[in-house]
Amino acid sequence: MPTAVSAPGKVLLAGGYTVLDPSCRGLVFALSARIHCIATSTPSSTPGKITVRSPQFQDAVWEYQVSAPDFDGQGVSVVQTNDGDPNPFVLTTLKYTLSYLSLPVPPATTLTILADNPYYSQPPPPNPRFNALPFPIKSAYKTGLGSSAALVTSLTSCILLHFLPNPSDPLPPHIFHNLAQASHCAAQGKVGSGFDVAAATYGSCIYRRFPPEILTAIPDPGDIDFTATLKETVDEKWNSMESDPITLPPQIGLVMGDVQCGSSTPGMVKTVLSWRKSGGDDADALWYNLNSKNEDLITAINDINAADGTATTATTLIDTIKQRIASIRQTVRELGTQAAVEIEPPSQTQLLDAAEEQVEGVIGGVVPGAGGYDAVCFLYERKDGVEQKLREFLGNWKVENGVVKALELGQEGEGVRVENVEGYRDVKAYFEGIAEL
């Protein structure tokens, strides 16, 4: 039977850079924009042939042949057999997940990947569901929602569920998370903080990272100890990591605005970490001051979730959240100045300030995560007309590539989930190859 799985994008509202430190926590919200993976059997093809398709982009088809390793323990061999640019996230996820399952030669399978429209800058509406873009995926403008983490989490979970030897014996959630973390870190060539994969797996959460040594201890797939170490690492609960559930209060909504630029996150992170390492006590003081303010915001959101529900209490707590967002932004700008990185560039500052000043009901906005020119994030009061006015304001705000586009998404608590395959029948008419659903 076909298997369909989706995983959400994320926005790191508080904790940019500091979330890399195991002594600090971040506030990450899962988003309703998801990346979907549908696995279907292709019995007429050669056993071990895996075809991965991303039909919203040109030339986005990757064909692989899976075979048994030369020696036990090395992990399965996964080799791309068609021409075209390699996709390290897909290739690594296949290699890690199939090795974990110890399935050297799986049945021939097609994996179709579909991304909700907010992950990439889109032409003016109306656009169909899973809009097709007229260029290769590497030429698409990402909006900064964590597409690679959502892709790897969705793909990992779909493969696990589709090929699980005993479907009646469900895997615990940490298996999906740990395996996705291992694949994602290996694909990007470094061990990141992992908040994006945690949100894709568990949903909105207060996150504390895992020790990097957990994943650096896994040898390369060609090593004789690869499979055993991978299984041991994935099966173990990473107790030092935290992913405590949290959600936005019902009185507060979230809107993200695409400024259609994007940033080089790895380069920015490298520069900030270099500054911290060489900055001595002053850098540490600023770092932990920012973390303290992030914790204050987490506390304020938890307080309003636990409040008595009266209008007076809610207003007071919303004012507190507003003040704490402003305080975080001030400290982030100071960190950016000290590290010589535009974490909140002047053009983004103007946009955030103007929205708060000109749209009544806007609580505050941030440039989330590592900052720069990725999509901005606003919290607003759920009162009549506030969301619409904010979206109209963004649609009139000029940026280099036009205007800011309010993305069609919101915050949601749920992480990775199994989907009903019937829910994708509407797309088969314009995506060749999915008709077998």
CATH code where residue 190 lies = 3.30.230.10
Number of neighbours of residue 41 by Cβ within 10 angstroms? 16
Domain assignment present for residue 317? The answer is: yes
Cα distances (Å, whole numbers) of residue 60 to 46, 83, 110, 188: 21, 11, 13, 19
Print the domain residue range for 296: 252-406
Q: What is the pLDDT of residue 193?
A: 95
**Pair 395, 262 in one domain:** yes
Cα distances (Å, whole numbers) of residue 252 to 116, 317, 386: 23, 11, 11
The residue assigned the tokens 């303290």 is 292
Q: What is the CATH number of the domain that holds 359?
A: 3.30.70.890
Domain assignment present for residue 436? The answer is: no
**Pair 218, 298 in one domain:** no
Domain assignment present for residue 41? The answer is: yes
DSSP-derived secondary structure letter, 298: H
Token code pair at residue 373: 């020119």
**Pair 262, 198 in one domain:** no
Q: What is the domain count for the chain?
A: 2
Q: What is the pLDDT of residue 166?
A: 75
Query: How many angstroms separate the CA atoms of 342 and 119, rounded?
Result: 23
Handedness of CA 396, 402, 408, 413 (dihedral sign): negative
Mean pLDDT by 10 residues, the chain (437 residues): 95 97 97 96 89 93 92 91 94 97 89 95 89 92 92 98 82 97 96 96 98 96 94 97 96 92 74 94 96 97 87 88 98 96 95 97 96 93 96 93 89 95 78 51
Domain assignment present for residue 435? The answer is: no
**Pair 198, 277 in one domain:** no
**Pair 84, 191 in one domain:** yes
pTM, to two decimals: 0.95
Domain assignment present for residue 167? The answer is: yes
Domain assignment present for residue 437? The answer is: no
Domain assignment present for residue 381? The answer is: yes
Domain assignment present for residue 412? The answer is: no
Q: What is the pLDDT of residue 437?
A: 47
**Pair 111, 140 in one domain:** yes
Query: How many angstroms separate the CA atoms of 415 and 398, rounded?
Result: 34
Q: Is 94 exposed, middle or buried (0-12, 13-18, 19+ CB in 10 A)?
A: buried
**Pair 233, 304 in one domain:** no
Q: What is the pLDDT of residue 288?
A: 97
**Pair 380, 347 in one domain:** yes
Closest CA to 424 of 22, 40, 162, 76: 40
CA R_g for the chain: 22
Q: Which residues lie below 8 Å from residue 175, measured CB to CB, with a gap of 6+?
A: 160, 234, 235
Query: How many angstroms separate the CA atoms of 65 and 19, rounded?
Result: 38
Phi (first) and psi of residue 68, to 5 degrees = -65, 150
**Pair 180, 38 in one domain:** yes
Q: Which residues lie below 8 Å from residue 277, measured CB to CB, with a gap of 6+?
A: none
Q: What is the pLDDT of residue 43?
A: 82
At residue 352, the 3 state secondary structure works out as: helix
**Pair 264, 239 in one domain:** no
**Pair 262, 283 in one domain:** yes
**Pair 193, 237 in one domain:** yes
Number of neighbours of residue 270 by Cβ within 10 angstroms? 13
